[in-house]
Structure 1
Amino acid sequence: MSAASESTSTILVSCKQTRFHIESPNYRELDIEGLSIAVTSGDKQSAKGKWKAKADGVEILSNAKLRLKAGQRYALVGRNGSGKSTLLRAIAEKLIPGVPEKTRVAILQQTNDADGSVGTAASDGAPSGNNAAPQGSRVLEYVVDKATSKNELEQEINILAEGISNENAFSALRSLRRVRHQRLQKQCFVLDKKARLRSGARGAQARKALTEFEKVVAESEALVGQADDDISPDTLQAETQEAADLLAELQLQVEPSKLANIESQAKKILSGLGFSDAYMEKPVSSLSGGWLMRTELAATLLQESDILILDEPTNFLDLLGIIWLQRYLQSLEDTPEPPTMILVSHDRDFINLATDLLIIKDKAITYFHGDLVTYEESQAERKVYLTKMKEAQDRQKAHIQETIARNIRQGKKKDDDNKLRQAKSRQKKLDDRWGLEVGSRGGRFKLNRDLVGYHLTARAEIDVPADERPVVINLPEPPDLRFPGALISLEGASFRYPAEQSAGKQSSRSSPAAPIVLQDLNLSVHIGDRIGVVGLNGAGKTTLIRLLVGETRPSSGTATMHPRLRLGYYSQQAVDTLRSLGRSEPQLTALGLLGREAEASGQDDDDSSGSSSQSREGRLRGLLASFGLAGRVASDVPLGKLSGGQLVRCELARLLYRRPHCLVLDEVTTHLDYETVAALRDALMGWEGAVVLVSHDRWFMRGVVEGIIDDPIGGSDDEHGNGESAEDSEMTRRREIYRLRGGKLVRLQNGVQDFEDAMGKRVKKLLSD
């Protein structure tokens, strides 16, 4: 058993191991039986020092099987809170006893910390300080250093070179011992980590190894401080020569040609993720959260790894970066030893690059060879098949039970033993041999193959999988406008930043005028319209959105709104804004925030009943609950303690309480889990109001704007998803997707597909360079 301790939680891990357990020589594979993982609140141990996972914590996995084949790409799928991040962390930190110590694991983690930080880790056990960017480190330098430990090697080279070049005869020996001692200290850190993260027999073994190694470190420290007079001439000569040999070895590792190849690969990765040459030279400390995430992703991709774990890598990437990453990961299968990948993403189009699925459900891991759509279709078809089979058998069972009862009555009435024996035989069939007629492979059910082990009956029961409670989002319908007209209208609108602001951005005092960001835009949004805007990062999409919602005014042209318009605007900075609000008001909850704004806006005046504060709280609680913020999460948990996904739900509830006519959504899916993204997509497809959507999620854009749905059971009411005919839908909805490029809006005839094709051509060129 192993354990990982944090300030607020502990991960407990156990799995089956025999006394003859031999680790696989293929470090890209895992085959672990009987895996159990639990998360406890704190370091709760029994009096005997053994972990009580089931009693004190939440069980994530119970007697599961973790099987990874070398070189495969796995998509880890499961509901929010099912334990995906816990499992990934247990693999990366090697808390699972069956993960070989020599396995190189590179992981990009998305954390839910208050600062929204992004983290990467490698399995070498280096202190966390090594993952931080050195003061003033440039992006390219940081990525190369993190992937190759170049900074550490150069420090050792400098120490040895300085010692060897010094005229003092003992300087080379001193530098060698210093380098040795630093290496031993790092090894001691790894052993200390293992001792703290493990319990039981393995923990005792790790603590014993740490104690013994601490003696070695103490001896090394004594050698570092040894006086010159106590060093023998033979030792001086031997260690001086050893220092020279080690220096030559290290210099080979940082050979310019080798580092040049690594640096060239780093530049290709950074370019694919959207970095220009100028951005590669920027200090890491000056990057925003989105660019910092891309830097960490580049460093993770550059590392040599046996298992590569990417948790939501598409966050903050534009479509060019997403398609590049998708094809780059696919291209790794052509390398001599491609890493085994585990991917987590809410972007369905991106996750389709996976060859297999790992589904966490009911504390078990289910495996499926294929993509997510195929899995959902097969599950839906199997459920329909099993339901029909069970209904047919239930009818047959009712008929047999009726026959048994009739035979018993007739047998007793006429003293007919044959009737009674017949009734007894049929009853035995119902008791012992009733259930599945078809095995898991589609053939006839066989007891010794399909129901292994000891059982009271000779057949397995027909188990129709129960439907998981779906995430359902109910959008309030907008009130009447009273008179028709465009909700939002741009006519000949152009925008450029003020001259002084542009000069600050360009660091050029002589700039005569700022460049035009948006030029001669004409766009109108009516009730029921679905408008999508796509484009690369920096194309001006957010500036366009701010013009639409009235946060900025056009430099020329006009921007008008319907006088009775209620607008709901979700900003990219919504999560950061709520986090800042939570830090400034530590006791403020989601329910308190919505209640305060509802009271200030007088929104309850819309109710004919004249609302009381109690009924208002009930409506607010119902709205928050529909977004997954129910009960005490809404009323007791402060905003500062909510995760990124919960803050997105809070902001959406905040917008929808006003019953808007138009929703303007700028990258609303970034922090949401897949189930909530799917629920929001379904809700927006049938909503009566207007939607203006900016998103890099192709699947989400196709559903909300283009009205394209994919039903797992192979059918739908219509291609627009509302149960209305295509002709009626087109009469009431305008569905248009625009690409923003060079400050101008261009309507895409084939929607998202046109933009995806254009980005695909650019990615092909980037990968071929």
Structure 2
Amino acid sequence: MTSMEAESAATILCTSTQTRFNIGTPNSRELDIEGLNITVTSGSKPGAKGKNKAKSEGTEILNNAKLRLKAGQRYALLGRNGTGKSTLLKAVAEKLIPGIPEETRVVILQQTDVEDSNTDERPSSYTTDNSGPTVLEEVIERTTAKYEIQREIEVLSRGVDGSDSFGALRSFRKIHHDRLQKELFLKDKDARLRSGARGMQARKVLIAMEKKVAEFQTQYEQKEEDISPETLAKETSEAVDMLSELQLQVKPSKLADVESKAKKILTGLGFVESRMVQTVSSLSGGWRMRTALATVLLQETDILILDEPTNFLDLLGIIWLQRHLSTIAESADPPTLILVSHDRDFISLCTDLLIIKDKELTYFHGDLPMYESSRAEKKAYLTKMEEAKDKQKEHIQQTIQRNIREGKAKDDQNKIRQAKSRQKKLDDRWGMEVSAKGGRFKLNRDLPGYHYTSRDDIEIPQEEKPVSLSLPDPPELRFPGSLISLEKVSFRYPKDPKTKTVLQDVNLSIGMGDRIGILGLNGSGKSTLIKLLVEEMRPTTGILTKHSRLKLGYYAQHAVEELQKIGRADPDLTALNLLMREAEGELDEGEVRRLLGSLGLPGRLASDVPVRRLSGGQLVRLEVARILWRRPHCLILDEVTTHLDYETVSAFREALREWKGAVVLVSHDRWFMRGVVEGLGEDEDEASDEEEVDRGGTTKLTRRLVYRLRAGQMNVLEGGVHGFEDSMEKRVRKMENFSHT
């Protein structure tokens, strides 16, 4: 058995064990890796020596884990924020893990920091940079290397078709030289990424490559008079052959097929024809991420990794992507999929769960509801069995003690010896008939060694402390009235009078305890409506009124990016420092710590870890804390679940369902919307009817309304979230039927 290591220059150190059985001809779509250890390091200090110092300063992600992926299966990677999901995916994508075959094709969509203040609703005239490739060109180029091939064709054509007898040779050597330089760059990068046995091998390959490049450099700089006629004829012929091969690769029929597929994927992700021909540099961050997703989906691969692909998609795009991935899975030789998403409905397309917890990887064949149900049933069964065994043991112990007392009272030595014998059997062999996992006990499996005197108790799975979010109750308003009211409100951007009206005649009333959901596709006006509600913009026409004592809490769609900017501007700023600074004496340190702790930022995480080093999910919690310390009456939440793990999403859903204030929610997460706004429970079989008693003693039900924004018009959705989902399903089917025709 050998141990190999690899270290990313960015901070990832991976080790694993391999046996000689792993070194055969592996299936490039499967992974079977034992003893996997992953550590994220912060870099070595001056004077530190190698990996030992890095390990001492690193954060351990996995310890002696098993990474096993079956070809063609679809895995949902689950784990709480900060457990290392993105790190594991990066290690797989960059093949830093020993045991991943070099020939395995891995394509990854990673979470990217997007710093963009523009909304998707602003017209394209707001963009200024129009340089670089268009969206369609970018997707095709990254998939086919079309422009690089065309460049080589142009170089060769000039040499082959020109009158210079040495032109073809020089063109051929020019292309060969450029290709060697690119290969040298990749080999150098590979050598720097790896250490240990794999690093040594990579450096050997690099040295051989450097020698090869140096040898060809002499040939490349050779003067014409030193080139023999035989060499000239040979390389001229090779240039003609290379030109023919390259021309086949950009054959119009082949490129047309790639372009057709690219357009189909881009359309599914929300691109209209006019946006496909926009330059990538002119797009907002959300549309750039969709361009990257299209590029990933178009490529042929063995392992497809998608890290939060739905973050910038509306529900139409999410449903299209869900169906597209399911269609890929039904193909003859589908890639293995690893998916990270906080959207419970979206990950239902996965066949298996891959759970990262306590520095280990565990697996479950089935979906998330099945896993949660199975885990609860297993815990209940083992708990019941343990209680029964404890009760039985207690009864036997009482019987033994009673027999000893009676034996001593009657001086019955036989009874005393019998009781002591039973006590010895109880101490030495109790529980031998049941294994620690609750099954039938087997000596050779469940009691290794010959010197054990008793078996451990039944092992009941120790659950992590459940995620629990506590939202402070809002203060009294003192007199009744709507919190926010919109009457025939319309809006258009004043700087561009040619743009159409974004919102038209919107009527909305938000009262204490109301749950308002806003659904709509990107560009329908959701962000504009939110900015009107929080008074970042003013209506063009109509009336917007607010309760005079209203305290409003607003979670913006780009809140995480804004916190990242704050963290970079002040590298030592912690969550505790930030809230203490913003509270300005209204809260003491203990109150701030309790608030942060209730939202999942306890102890040293709040006081010692800089904001710039917090994960996306932890930044969401921090932003929620910045909102809640003011005890708002109304929460306006714009895509608040982005970056959160599924357990925190579940806890937040439950907390908002029971909160006494009003909630206005914009979200593409169907499960979250159904729970918060429609009041559905975990099993989603029925909504609860929360009651509230007003100051006059009158009981009223919480108002639950789901609105749809479309073309600036806002109307109540009678079918609620399910109705909107059904309409999007129909649109996706129409898109698919149209693309087939």
Return the match for 1:573 from 537, 558, 567: 558
Question: Contact 1:435–1:462 (CA<8 Å) still a contact in 2?
Answer: no
Partner of 1:609: none
Partner of 2:333: 337
1:322-366: CA deviations, max 9, x gaps? 111011000002222110000001111101110000111222211
Partner of 2:120: none
Q: Is 1:3–2:6 an aligned residue pair? A: yes
- Comparing 540-549 with 190-199, greater Cα deviation is found at 190-199
1:477 is displaced (CA, Å) by: 0.6
- Comparing 428-437 with 145-154, greater Cα deviation is found at 428-437
1:581 is displaced (CA, Å) by: 4.0
Return the match for 2:636 from 630, 644, 664: 664
Question: Contact 1:720–1:729 (CA<8 Å) still a contact in 2?
Answer: no
Q: Is 1:424–2:421 an aligned residue pair? A: yes
1:584 is displaced (CA, Å) by: 4.9
Question: Contact 1:50–1:199 (CA<8 Å) still a contact in 2?
Answer: no
Cα distance change of structure 1 residues 333 and 437 upon mapping to structure 2, 3 Å threshold: same
1:409 is displaced (CA, Å) by: 5.3
Q: Is 1:497–2:455 an aligned residue pair? A: no
Partner of 1:120: none
1:94 is displaced (CA, Å) by: 1.0
Q: Is 1:760–2:729 an aligned residue pair? A: yes
2:13 partner letter: L
- Comparing 319-328 with 92-101, greater Cα deviation is found at 92-101
1:15 partner letter: S
1:648 is displaced (CA, Å) by: 2.4
- 3-state SS of 2:700 partner: helix
Instruction: Give distance in 1, aligned partners of 2:350 and 2:149.
Output: 36
Instruction: Give distance in 2, aligned partners of 1:25 and 1:436.
Output: 42
Cα distance change of structure 1 residues 47 and 318 upon mapping to structure 2, 3 Å threshold: closer
Partner of 2:122: none
Partner of 2:627: 655
Name the Cα RMSD after superposition: 3.0
Partner of 1:127: none
Cα distance change of structure 1 residues 584 and 249 upon mapping to structure 2, 3 Å threshold: same
- 3-state SS of 1:377 partner: helix
- 3-state SS of 2:324 partner: helix
- 3-state SS of 2:474 partner: coil
Return the match for 1:528 from 505, 510, 513: 513
Q: Is 1:59–2:60 an aligned residue pair? A: yes
1:181-231: CA deviations, max 9, x gaps? 222223323332332233223322222222122111111111111111221
Instruction: Give distance in 1, aligned partners of 2:646 and 2:77.
Output: 12
1:674 partner letter: Y
Instruction: Give distance in 1, aligned partners of 2:633 and 2:640.
Output: 18
Partner of 1:107: 108
1:321 is displaced (CA, Å) by: 0.6
- 3-state SS of 1:478 partner: coil
Instruction: Give distance in 2, aligned partners of 1:691 and 1:187.
Output: 56
Partner of 1:264: 260
How do 1:704-723 and structure 2 match up within 5 A? 704-710=676-682, 719-720=687-688
How do 1:125-136 and structure 2 match up within 5 A? 136=132
Cα distance change of structure 1 residues 215 and 704 upon mapping to structure 2, 3 Å threshold: same
2:546 partner letter: M
Question: Contact 1:72–1:340 (CA<8 Å) still a contact in 2?
Answer: yes
Partner of 1:400: 396
Question: Contact 2:639–2:666 (CA<8 Å) still a contact in 1?
Answer: yes
1:72 is displaced (CA, Å) by: 0.6
1:591 is displaced (CA, Å) by: 3.4
Cα distance change of structure 1 residues 585 and 192 upon mapping to structure 2, 3 Å threshold: closer
1:431 partner letter: D
Return the match for 2:138 from 134, 138, 142: 142
1:57 partner letter: G
How do 1:120-519 and structure 2 match up within 5 A? 136-408=132-404, 414=411, 416-417=413-414, 419-421=416-418, 423-434=420-431, 437=434, 444-448=440-444, 456=452, 461-498=457-494, 501-503=495-497, 511=498, 514-519=499-504
- 3-state SS of 1:258 partner: helix
Question: Contact 1:432–1:456 (CA<8 Å) still a contact in 2?
Answer: no
1:415-451: CA deviations, max 9, x gaps? 63465255335533543351673786x8644445667
- 3-state SS of 1:664 partner: strand
Instruction: Give distance in 2, aligned partners of 1:20 and 1:372.
Output: 33
Partner of 2:524: 539
1:594 is displaced (CA, Å) by: 2.9
Partner of 1:125: none
Partner of 2:125: none
Q: Which runs of 5+ in 2 are unaligned?
A: 118-128
Question: Contact 1:46–1:52 (CA<8 Å) still a contact in 2?
Answer: no
2:5 partner letter: S
Partner of 1:693: 665
Instruction: Give distance in 1, aligned partners of 2:646 and 2:433.
Output: 34
Instruction: Give distance in 1, aligned partners of 2:554 and 2:49.
Output: 56
Instruction: Give distance in 1, aligned partners of 2:223 and 2:698.
Output: 89
Cα distance change of structure 1 residues 432 and 325 upon mapping to structure 2, 3 Å threshold: same
1:751 is displaced (CA, Å) by: 1.1
Instruction: Give distance in 1, aligned partners of 2:574 and 2:439.
Output: 56
Question: Contact 2:36–2:66 (CA<8 Å) still a contact in 1?
Answer: yes
Cα distance change of structure 1 residues 261 and 342 upon mapping to structure 2, 3 Å threshold: same
2:429 partner letter: D
- 3-state SS of 1:515 partner: coil
Cα distance change of structure 1 residues 54 and 379 upon mapping to structure 2, 3 Å threshold: farther
2:717 partner letter: L
- 3-state SS of 1:629 partner: coil
1:28-81: CA deviations, max 9, x gaps? 111122222222332489999665776553322222211111111000111112
Cα distance change of structure 1 residues 299 and 404 upon mapping to structure 2, 3 Å threshold: same
Partner of 1:622: 594
Question: Contact 2:485–2:544 (CA<8 Å) still a contact in 1?
Answer: yes
Instruction: Give distance in 1, aligned partners of 2:426 and 2:413.
Output: 21
1:505-553: CA deviations, max 9, x gaps? xxxxxx4xx4222222221111000010100000001111222223323
1:702 partner letter: R
- Comparing 84-93 with 417-426, greater Cα deviation is found at 417-426
- Comparing 755-764 with 59-68, greater Cα deviation is found at 59-68
1:764 partner letter: R
Partner of 1:751: 720
Question: Contact 2:680–2:688 (CA<8 Å) still a contact in 1?
Answer: yes
Cα distance change of structure 1 residues 63 and 44 upon mapping to structure 2, 3 Å threshold: farther
Once the two structures are aligned, what percentage of the paired residues are identical?
62
- Comparing 104-113 with 748-757, greater Cα deviation is found at 104-113
- Comparing 326-335 with 642-651, greater Cα deviation is found at 642-651
Instruction: Give distance in 1, aligned partners of 2:16 and 2:573.
Output: 42
Cα distance change of structure 1 residues 530 and 140 upon mapping to structure 2, 3 Å threshold: same
1:3 partner letter: A
Question: Contact 1:570–1:666 (CA<8 Å) still a contact in 2?
Answer: yes
Instruction: Give distance in 1, aligned partners of 2:215 and 2:699.
Output: 81
Instruction: Give distance in 2, aligned partners of 1:261 and 1:139.
Output: 17
Q: Which runs of 5+ in 1 are unaligned?
A: 117-132, 504-510, 605-614
Cα distance change of structure 1 residues 723 and 555 upon mapping to structure 2, 3 Å threshold: closer
Structure 2-normalised TM-score? Answer: 0.90
Cα distance change of structure 1 residues 42 and 48 upon mapping to structure 2, 3 Å threshold: closer
Question: Contact 2:6–2:198 (CA<8 Å) still a contact in 1?
Answer: no
1:552-608: CA deviations, max 9, x gaps? 232222111111111111222323333444455555544344333333xx8x3xxxx
Question: Contact 1:685–1:721 (CA<8 Å) still a contact in 2?
Answer: no
1:318 is displaced (CA, Å) by: 0.4
